[in-house]
Amino acid sequence: MKTPPLRSIFLRAPLCALLLTGASTFAAEHLGDLTGPWTLFVDDHAVAHKENVTRAYHAFEKHDTNPVLSADKPWEGSIAYVYGTVLPAEKGDGYRMWYHSWAHREYRMLYATSQDGLHWKKPTLGLVDYEGSKQNNILFRRTHENHSPQVIHTPWEKDPARRYKFIYYEYGRTPPAFTTSGYYGMYSPDGIHWTDAKNAKPVLEDHGDVGNFGWDALGNRYISWPKKFDEVRGYRRRCVGFSATTDFENWPATKLVLTPDEFDDRWVTSESTEGAHTDFYGMSGFAYESMYIGFLWVFPITNGKSDGPIFVELVTSHDGEHWTRQEKPRMPILPLGPDGAWDDGMVFTSNHPLVEGNVIKLFYGGFDVTHSGKNAKAGIGLATLRKDGFASLDAGAEEGTITTNALSGATGTLAVNFRADGGWLRAEILDESGNVLPGYSRADCPPLTGDHIEKTMSWGALDHLPETKGAMQIRFILRDAALYSFRVGDGADGAR
Q: Look up the pTM and report it.
A: 0.95
Q: How far apart are CA 280 and CA 247, in angstroms?
A: 28
Are the C-beta atoms of residues 290 and 46 closer than 8 Å to each other? no
Flag whether pLDDT at 478 surpasses 60: yes
Higher local confidence (pLDDT), 259 or 208: 259
Q: How far apart are CA 56 and CA 487, in angstroms?
A: 20
Q: How far apart are CA 64 and CA 475, in angstroms?
A: 40
**21 confidence band (pLDDT: 50, 70, 90):** very low
Tell me the CA distances in angstroms from 428 to 408, 458, 459, 466, one per residue in order: 16, 10, 8, 11
58-67, 278-287, 461-470: lowest mean pLDDT where?
A: 461-470
* CATH class of the domain whose range is 396-495: mainly beta
**How are beta strands 354-356 and 359-367 bridged, if at all?**
antiparallel
Check residue 3 and give its pLDDT: 41
Domain ranges of the chain: 4-16+24-33+59-386, 396-495
Find, among 51, 85, 114, the residue nearest to 475 by Cα: 51
Find, among 63, 41, 3, the residue nearest to 359 by Cα: 63
- What digits encode the pLDDT tens for the residues 436-454? 999 999 999 999 999 999 9
* Average pLDDT taken over every residue of the chain: 93
Overall fold of domain 4-16+24-33+59-386: Tachylectin-2; Chain A (2.115.10)
Check residue 206 and give its pLDDT: 83
Flag whether pLDDT at 26 surpasses 50: no
Q: Count CB atoms within 10 A of the CB of residue 50.
A: 18
**How are beta strands 414-431 and 448-456 bridged, if at all?**
antiparallel
Ramachandran quadrant class, 247 (left: phi over 0; alpha: psi -120 to 50; beta: rest)? beta
Q: What angle do CA 352, 356, 361 make, to 5 degrees?
A: 45
Flag whether pLDDT at 224 surpasses 90: yes
Q: How far apart are CA 71 and CA 378, in angstroms?
A: 7
Check residue 5 and give its pLDDT: 52
Average pLDDT over residues 197-212: 89
Q: What percent of the chain has pLDDT over 70?
A: 93
Q: How far apart are CA 493 and CA 309, in angstroms?
A: 41
**25 confidence band (pLDDT: 50, 70, 90):** very low
Check residue 432 and give its pLDDT: 87
Flag whether pLDDT at 143 surpasses 80: yes
Check residue 92 and give its pLDDT: 85
Average pLDDT over residues 356-377: 97
Q: How far apart are CA 251 and CA 245, in angstroms?
A: 6
